[in-house]
A and B are shown apart, each in its own frame.
Chain A
Amino acid sequence: MLILAWRSVRQRPGQFTATLLAAWLGAVIIMLFNSLHDTAASAGVDAASAESLHLTGGVVGGYGTLLVFLAIASTLTVTVRQRGEELSLLRHIGATPGQIRTMVIGEASLIGLAGTLLAVWPAILGGRLLLDRFQETGQVADGVDHTFGPIVAGAGSAVMLLACTGAAAVAVRRAGRAPGRRPRQRGRLAAGALSLAAGIAGVGATFGMQATDSALMAAPAYGSILLAAGLAVFSPYLLRALLRPMGPVLIRVFGGGGHLAVLNTRERAAELSAVLMPLVLFTGLATATLYLQAVESDAIRAAGIRRSVEDTNLETLNFTVVGIIAGFACLMLINSLYSATTYRRREFGQQRLAGATPAQVLSMVGCETVLVTVTGVVFGTLAGAAGVVAFAAVRTDDPDPGQGPWIWLGVVALCTAATATTTLVTARRVSGVPAVHAVAAA
């Protein structure tokens, strides 16, 4: 089965593009932040420099790793499900579930390995640029050189391998089941509940920390990400409940396409959850980290320290660091939406054979995008706000973060633009082929 895994990766690289892209981006993020630990540990680095590097590597690198793990898991879930037909063919010619598992996990580790190797150079480059910023802002002494050493090599590849194989094992467990039986949701719901509980604990842990703790930001950031992941699991059900009153309105606005969208949304809870996951994660993470940083900056200002050029620089540095993570989440969102929409080629073909015009297919996708974006933004905001309020309460003794809505509006605008553009452009491209070809077995 490992030979089969190797063959399928080598002969059809296109099929694995989405996973490879996710693995590569994830590995860049993980290695970029872990290289800060290596740099701090190298000889001749003074204590103050080492502390700033360890702090950033630990806090941002930590929740960054969690995010990478979730992102790779959600991409693999989508891509493994797309291969249902191929996997069932393998089952028919005598592959045992164990063999199929070996194959999918083998493929995922190959892709994880390739992604990690490809990520080394960009991570070194990014690490140098980031270190430059640290030195410009005086956080790290000028003499320190960027090091790419054992911590990166060990932690980076271990985390990537764990993320890829773990996510593949979860995904194939779902896909490897005999067809005809409805997939059981219990495991997913349990994981969602666990994630929610961990998120609440994370946010709660903020209150156990001191306002001056340098790692204070870590607890609410972890909390928000876990809350977002948990809410993403439950959001399709709440969306379905909302459809009851909203359905007729959507059908009126979107016509035949709206009718299809409403029926689809009611039935495709698992698929929707896979799309909602990156959406909720992005909104939650971007809202949380950007507001955490804004609150922190204001708190420093309020402490009466004179606002110098260095302070402004420091603010820029902090926003750069969280910006990298938010940018990663946004790319993952686009990646997942692209592969989830490409997967619907056959479905679009069947709808067109049943009499849907291309415009109706697009208006269906548009209507679904509206539903999914609104749901994603609402739950993402909830998850992000929980972390921000907790942080503000501890850091400034006032749960009101005291920030305007502009960051949030920016996040929502970016999220909406990325979702709408990716989904509609992909749907248009996918439904460009004649319908009879689209429904023919690939």
Chain B
Amino acid sequence: MFGRRRVGEAVLSAEALRLVEVRKTYGTAGNVVTALDGVSLSLATGSFTAVMGPSGSGKSTLLQCAAGLEPLDSGTVVVDGQPLVGRGEAQLTRFRRERIGFVFQQYNLLPTLTVLENVVLPLKLAGRRVDTERAGRILAQMGLADRLRHRPDELSGGQRQRVAIARALLVEPRVVFADEPTGALDSRTAREILALVREVVQVHGRTVVMVTHDPVAAAAADTVLFLADGRLAGHLARPTPEAVAERLTHLGNAARDDVTLEV
């Protein structure tokens, strides 16, 4: 109970991510858009959660706030037991690169670096030891063993996204945030990428939060959280694409009803 935490001993918190009453608005006075309106949630370590909602429901903002990429107006974000509030950009970056991995719709790989250089870049920036062999192994698992020296513009969209997943995995993050990871891919490639994201959870034991608008993608998760007008609007465990689409349709109706009521 009073044991000192030794350096290098990873203490895994059972809760990977917690949001408490997170609020976020955009725009100037007189034209304020509320993107997040008091969102609270808690995700267990090793869970795979999809966040869904109509456009403008605040799902991308939720992910960016939870990942410390956007400052909050109020509320708290706790990643792996560590609160993420009121720090400078440099401190936030250090916080992120120790605990958080990202996968974006537009990949965000650096065009001037090779696949291997892209994947080990976060470790280099963090001044951590670079295990090139492990990086090669992860890339091989992604089916990119023969692409290590290629540049992103020589790869297909699906291959680029695999590189991005490998990059996120190599830093051994507590949480991987994926923002529409299949948004720019055809449906076959999207299925392959979703299978890899599932492996991130099942094989590598990471926690994944994925924002998507695609019911098929969302159905790959263990749980789907629905977001409407910046608020949580229910969840669905063990989802199927049909059930997700069904719920989404009702969310759309609810949103339209709201508009009518306001007029």
List the interface of chain A (C-beta within 8 A of B).
Answer: 180, 255-256, 259-260, 263-264, 267-268, 347, 350-360, 434-436, 439
Contacts and interface: CB of A to CB of B under 8 A. Distances in A.
A434 B70 contact: yes
A263 B171 contact: no
Interface residues of B, number: 29
The majority secondary structure among interface residues of chain A is helix
B108 A256 contact: no
Contacts of B97: 355
Contacts of B110: 347, 350-351, 354
A419 B37 CA distance: 46
13 contacts: A256-B125, A259-B125, A264-B112, A267-B113, A350-B110, A351-B110, A353-B69, A353-B102, A355-B96, A355-B121, A355-B122, A434-B69, A435-B69
Interface in B90-146: 90, 93-94, 96-97, 102, 104, 106, 108-110, 112-113, 117-118, 121-122, 124-127
Nearest to A346: B108
A436 B96 contact: no
A115 B104 CA distance: 42
Contact of B108 (A180, A255, A267, A354): A354
A263 B114 CA distance: 10
Contacts of B71: 434
Among B118, B124, B127, B167, max chain A CB count under 10 A is at B124
Given A256-B125, A357-B93, 18 more contacts: A255-B127, A256-B126, A256-B127, A263-B112, A263-B117, A264-B112, A350-B110, A351-B110, A354-B110, A354-B121, A354-B167, A355-B125, A355-B171, A358-B89, A434-B70, A434-B71, A435-B69, A436-B70
A435 B108 CA distance: 11
B64 interface: yes
Contacts of B106: 439
Contacts of A347: 110
B153 interface: yes
Contact of B124 (A259, A268, A352): A259
Contacts of A350: 108-110
Contact of A268 (B94, B104, B112): B112
Contacts of A180: 153
A246 to B, nearest CB: 18
Given A263-B112, A435-B69, A436-B70, A357 B90 contact: yes
